[in-house]
Amino acid sequence: DTGVSQDPRHKITKRGQNVTFRCDPISEHNRLYWYRQTLGQGPEFLTYFQNEAQLEKSRLLSDRFSAERPKGSFSTLEIQRTEQGDSAMYLCASSLAGLYTGELFFGEGSRLTVL
C-alpha cells in the first residue's frame, strides 16, 4: 500500500523536550498538509507545502513549531520545548495540485503526549 505514512505513531515526551514527526506522502502528490487534532475537535490546519515550498502557515503554528519538506517528498514537523498543550494528534495529508478534486489523503496520525 502506498498511502500516506507517518512516524512515529505514538510519542510520549517530557515537557521541554523536542520532538520530530515524519510524513511520507503518496509518491506522486506534490502538496502536503499538516493538521493538529485535539480530543473532541476537528482537525485544525497548521501548514502546507507545494513541492518544497511552504506556502501557508496558520497562526496556530507558534515559533516553537517548524516544518520542512526539503526535497519535495517527505516532510518533518518539529516541536521545540514541548508544552502540555501540545498534546494532540498530528495529521499529515497529501494531494495533487492541478488535478483538483478537493480530496486530501490522510495518514493515520502521530499522537503526542507531553507529560
Q: Which stretch binds another protein (CB under 8 A): 13-21, 66-74, 79-87, 100-108?
A: 100-108
The least CB distance from residue 103 to another protein, in Å, is 5
Query: Interface residues for another protein in 34-73 (CB under 8 A)?
Result: 40-45, 48, 55-56
* End-to-end CA gap in the chain: 34
- How many whole angstroms from its chain centre is CA 115? 21
Q: Which three cell numbers stand for residue 24?
A: 511520507
Other beta carbons within 10 angstroms of residue 59's beta carbon come to 6
# residues contacting another protein (CB under 8 A): 25
Under DSSP, is residue 1 helix (H, G, I), strand (E, B) or coil? Answer: coil
Q: What are phi and psi of 19, to 5 degrees?
A: -135, 155
Smaller CB separation from another protein, 3 or 15:
3
Smaller CB separation from another protein, 22 or 80:
22
- Residues of this chain that interact with another protein (CB under 8 A) are 4, 31, 33, 40-45, 48, 55-56, 91, 93, 95, 97, 100-104, 106-109
